[in-house]
Amino acid sequence: MVSPGEPLLEARGVVKRFGHVRALQGADFTAHPGEVVALIGDNGAGKSTLVNVLSGVLAPDGGEVLLAGAPVRFSGPQDARRQGVETVYQDLSLAPDLDAAANLYLGRELLRSGLLGRLGVLDRAAMRREAVGAFAELGVVLKDLTAPVASLSGGQRQSVAVARAVAFANRVIFMDEPTAALGVVQRARVLETVRRVADRGICVVLISHNMPEVLSVSDRIEVLRLGRRVASLTAADTTIEELVGAMTGSLDQPADAPASAWSPEEPR
Amino acid sequence: MTAGTGPLADVTSDSVPQWLRRAAGVNELWTFVILVALVVFFSIAAPDKFFTVFDLTQIAVNAAIYLVLGVGMTYVVITAGIDLSIGSVLVLAAVAAAEYNIHHGGATAGWATVAVCVLIALAVGTGWGALQGAIVATGKVPPLIVTLGGLGAALGLAELATGGQDPAGAAAADLQNSLGYGKVLGIPWLVVLAAVVTVAFGLVLGTTRFGTHTLAIGSNPAAVRRAGIGVGGHLVKVYALMGLLAGLGAVMWLASYGTTSIAGHSTDNLKVITAVVLGGTSLFGGRGSVLGTVIGVFIPAVLNTGLIVIGVQQYWQDVAVGVVLVAAVYVDQLRRRARERS
């Protein structure tokens, strides 16, 4: 599928405008299989816009997105998901009144075989069985699979959302601030999970504000500023000061964005 | 959000058996307890009257149409919607069927006419419901307003078609003698029909993909949209289903009473919404069951009959149901808040 060293997901000179605001002005992004890439940037740097473009929520106004070396144009998040690109949204995107298994299979329900299946009857037993497996893979044991997700703790809810992405993604998972709402212990578990997912050859893209966390869990860090990639750093030999410097522009990091993507005017 | 209350792998204390805790959390159980308590109370208060004079069959016949409407309303309310128009839609469907019947044989019309009348009533109801659903699905007008407008418009059309008078010869004798007064194994056909509809749509809600999507839309429409499910299309189907059942209610009404009762359905919506909410379906969407609605339909019915039997003015029933309704929503709201705090 992808030869080693070749990027799994790539953005080249992506442009996205909202009216007069140019959220992305020739942004680049690179992520390799089995890699944890952190995407950081100050507020308004274009992180969410870039992730929305890469996960199929928004269509770019210019530039191109390549998945496994081939240009793609997602028609929507469903299309991206069909191609193995999943997203864990910051709000988790769960239906709080449904149980964990139903949430795991929301929109991808398993049906019974034969006539019952044709009538749309769910195969709950199979969904629960698979759900137990999917959670176990992340080291999560849910006591009661029939309990509504709303009755779970914040960490458990988080793990349901992560398990859903992991169960179906075979290429890329975007995680938007996955640990923002979590306590210390749960945070460690989620980061552990991120590592384990990446070890299976899936690329995990982490959007985070937490610098120490970014440095400890990711392999590489891509820094956005004013709608462009200004730095692509290896986590192992980067300090928090360097990250902050790249984000704010106070340090003169060599940007590897093509010069053509640079435009003189600043947004807003 | 809780911080540090435990790792992702959760261990809940297990001193109380799980089935018991789950049973206690089921809304239907509490409503059912209330229903049983009412029946027991009236049985003791009027030992040889409650089960003989006003037997359960009579209660069931009276409740049959509300039950059919309640099943549809359960779906609508679960999507966090509401349908105020059902009484008017029932009247419009009944008038459409009646007009056809009048011009094709009147009271002595044959089975072919009866069949066409049934189809007309179902089609008018479904079409009206789908239209309202399509407007709700745009997300521009809240369901309360869409169906309030629908309530006025459907009734107005029915009055335009009839000049505001219930037409004579609205229902064929064949329809009345079969569905209206007929019995099978001692059970009225109306009750059998209502029971079949209830069981069928109860199963659809509880066991199928359609039911799960209905619950999910009421729970978190944004998540459902991101999961690639067509929320708008699903809402159209749910409101069309409500309309279909209002059309079926029209057929049952014509069969039972033989007239369109244009002025007699203005409070159907309140009665049915009350039953649905009493049955534990959340007005805020995402949670509810057809079984709960069945219980919710029978509580006012039993109260009504019971109060007559023990010689209390039956108008107290309206007072009691009103109080219980407000209390039910209050409790639902409290639980929701407690859940969000956890």
Most confident of A133-147, A184-198, B216-230: B216-230
Question: CA of B155, closest CA in chain A: separation in Å?
Answer: 35
Question: CA of B228, closest CA in chain A: separation in Å?
Answer: 5
Between CA B297 and CA B28 the distance in angstroms is 12
Task: Give the per-residue pLDDT at A205.
Answer: 94
Asked if A27 and A50 touch (Cβ cutoff 8 Å), the reply is: yes
Give the E-state strand segments of A32-138 in sequence order: 36-41, 62-67, 70-72, 85-88
Between CA B309 and CA B152 the distance in angstroms is 37
With CA atoms as reference, the chain A residue closest to B231 would be: A107
* Per-residue pLDDT of chain B in tens (342 residues, 90 and over written 9): 333 333 333 334 445 566 665 555 566 677 788 888 888 888 888 777 766 655 677 778 888 999 999 999 999 999 999 999 999 999 999 999 999 998 888 788 788 999 999 999 999 999 999 999 999 999 889 999 999 999 999 999 999 999 888 888 888 888 888 888 888 888 889 999 999 999 999 999 999 999 999 999 999 999 998 888 889 999 999 999 999 999 999 999 999 998 888 988 988 998 999 999 988 898 889 999 999 999 999 888 888 878 888 888 878 878 888 887 888 788 777 877 776 655
Question: CA of B122, closest CA in chain A: separation in Å?
Answer: 22
Whether the pLDDT of residue A144 is over 90: the answer is no
Between CA A24 and CA B147 the distance in angstroms is 43
B44 versus A98: the higher-pLDDT residue is A98
Between CA A208 and CA A215 the distance in angstroms is 11
Task: Give the per-residue pLDDT at B195.
Answer: 95
Q: String of b and e for A34-62 (b: at least 16 CB within 10 Å)? A: bbbbbbbbbebbbbbbbbbbbbbbbebee
Task: Give the per-residue pLDDT at A258.
Answer: 44
With CA atoms as reference, the chain B residue closest to A102 would be: B212
Between CA B293 and CA B300 the distance in angstroms is 12
Tell me what the mean pLDDT of segment A233-251 comes to.
84
Q: What does DSSP say about strands A9-18 and A62-67: parallel, antiparallel, or unpaired?
A: antiparallel
Chain B hits for A154, CB-CB cut-off 8 Å, are 1-3
SS3 content of chain A, % helix, strand, coil (to 5): 35, 25, 40
Asked if A62 and A15 touch (Cβ cutoff 8 Å), the reply is: yes
Between CA A15 and CA A31 the distance in angstroms is 19
Burial of A111 (0-12, 13-18, 19+ CB in 10 A): middle
The per-residue DSSP string of A175-190 comes to: EESTTTT--HHHHHHH
Tell me what the mean pLDDT of segment A26-43 comes to.
91
Nearest to residue B237, comparing CAs of B122, B154, B71, B126?
A: B126
Return phi, psi of residue A63, to 5°. 80, -175
Determine the 3-state secondary structure of A240 from DSSP: helix
Indicate the domain borders of chain A: 9-84+169-261
With CA atoms as reference, the chain B residue closest to A155 would be: B8
Task: Give the per-residue pLDDT at B117.
Answer: 94
Whether the pLDDT of residue A1 is over 60: the answer is no
Tell me what the mean pLDDT of segment A157-179 comes to.
88
B279 versus A255: the higher-pLDDT residue is B279
Task: Give the per-residue pLDDT at A248.
Answer: 85
Going from the C-alpha of B136 to that of each of A167, A192, B80, B293, the distances in angstroms are: 34, 44, 11, 23
pLDDT tens, position by position, A42-56? 888 888 899 989 988
Tell me what the mean pLDDT of segment A251-256 comes to.
52
CB contact under 8 A, B11 and A183: no
Q: How many Cβ atoms sit within 10 Å of the Cβ of residue B52?
A: 10
Nearest to residue B118, comparing CAs of B79, B64, B174, B162?
A: B174
Chain B hits for A55, CB-CB cut-off 8 Å, are none
* ipTM for the complex shown: 0.81
Range of the domain at B224: 63-266
Would you say residue B108 lies in a domain?
yes
Would you say residue B311 lies in a domain?
no
Between CA A61 and CA A18 the distance in angstroms is 10
Reading the block at residue A242, the tokens are 């360097």
Return phi, psi of residue A16, to 5°. -145, 125
Sheet holding A62-67, edge to edge: A21-31, A9-18, A62-67, A70-72
Fold of A9-84+169-261: Rossmann fold (3.40.50)
With CA atoms as reference, the chain B residue closest to A158 would be: B8
Would you say residue B178 lies in a domain?
yes
Would you say residue B196 lies in a domain?
yes
Determine the 3-state secondary structure of A126 from DSSP: helix
Task: Give the per-residue pLDDT at B275.
Answer: 93
Q: Which of A86, A127, A153 to mutate to test the interface with B (most CBs of B within 10 A)?
A: A153
Task: Give the per-residue pLDDT at B186.
Answer: 80
Task: Give the per-residue pLDDT at A38.
Answer: 93
CB contact under 8 A, A154 and B1: yes
Q: String of b and e for B256-285 (b: at least 16 CB within 10 Å)? A: bbbbbbbeebeebbebbbbbbbbbbbbbeb
Task: Give the per-residue pLDDT at B6.
Answer: 37
Going from the C-alpha of B103 to that of each of B39, B108, B109, B171, the distances in angstroms are: 46, 11, 9, 11
Q: What does DSSP say about strands A9-18 and A21-31: parallel, antiparallel, or unpaired?
A: antiparallel
CB contact under 8 A, B228 and A76: yes
Structural domain count of chain B: 1
Q: Which residues contact B102 (CB under 8 A, 6 or more apart)?
A: B167, B168, B169, B170
